[in-house]
Chain A
Amino acid sequence: MVKSVTSVGRSGLHDWMIQRVSAVILAAYSIYIGVFVLSTPDLHFSVWQGLFAQTEIKIFSFLAILSLCFHAWIGLWIISTDYLNILALRLVFQVVVIILCLAFLLWGAQILWGF
């Protein structure tokens, strides 16, 4: 079996599972927010802020960002091994992706718990 290639999961199969689970969470979140916006034609500030003031939505949102980080990290890792054949270039790309993912996560947490 392929050993931990992306260093996210413990194995290629584990990465594959994470990719699927995070996809389902992201899809559920996108659909939830989409339906909310579509079913609220007169979207005011108080309604919008009220939505994100609920603890469940904060946690759901944070889980979505966390899923996004895993999902994008694994997905972009696969892409980098397909197109970036120079080792140094690939490593730089992967480091940039990790840093961006961490930044998104922290930024998201600050937005959700900071307003």
Chain B
Amino acid sequence: MSLEQCTVCARHETLYQELDAFIEKNRHRPGALIEVLHKAQSLFGFLPAEVQAFIAKQLGIPESTVFGVVTFYHYFTMKPRGQNQVKVCLGTACYVKGADRVLERLKEELKVGIEEVTQDGRFSIHEVRCLGACSMAPVVLIGEKDFFGRVTPDEVPKILKKYRG
């Protein structure tokens, strides 16, 4: 993906400036890279190759190092994510209780696949492992806090509606 194609980046000239300022301030701190990546992801929403290359250049470290760290932590993502990340637990307990059917229904409702963003940018779907809420299986988590337990496929539209605004 080159810079021209990446509309997100083109729109965000100012975001680069903000990121650069942040890098300048933090470059000598231990663990600067992780903090810079956090900042970048909060600014851009995700970490496309261009942003990573920019960070590598500004910090004077190899691009491969940045890439290695980005792919190491699940928290970082190279793909755009929706404003609301819908995470479906596919851990053993949830799976046994039919999480796969919930997932299928979600895909139908949102018309996107796993790790994809809806056209309006509002949702993206993600698979996760056991969320530690097996007693409520199957579990769907939206964002970082909104847990939905014992979800059936038919409840899916109702749940999504709350976030459609």
* Binding between chains A and B: no
Using a CB–CB cutoff of 8 Å, the interface residues on chain A facing chain B are none
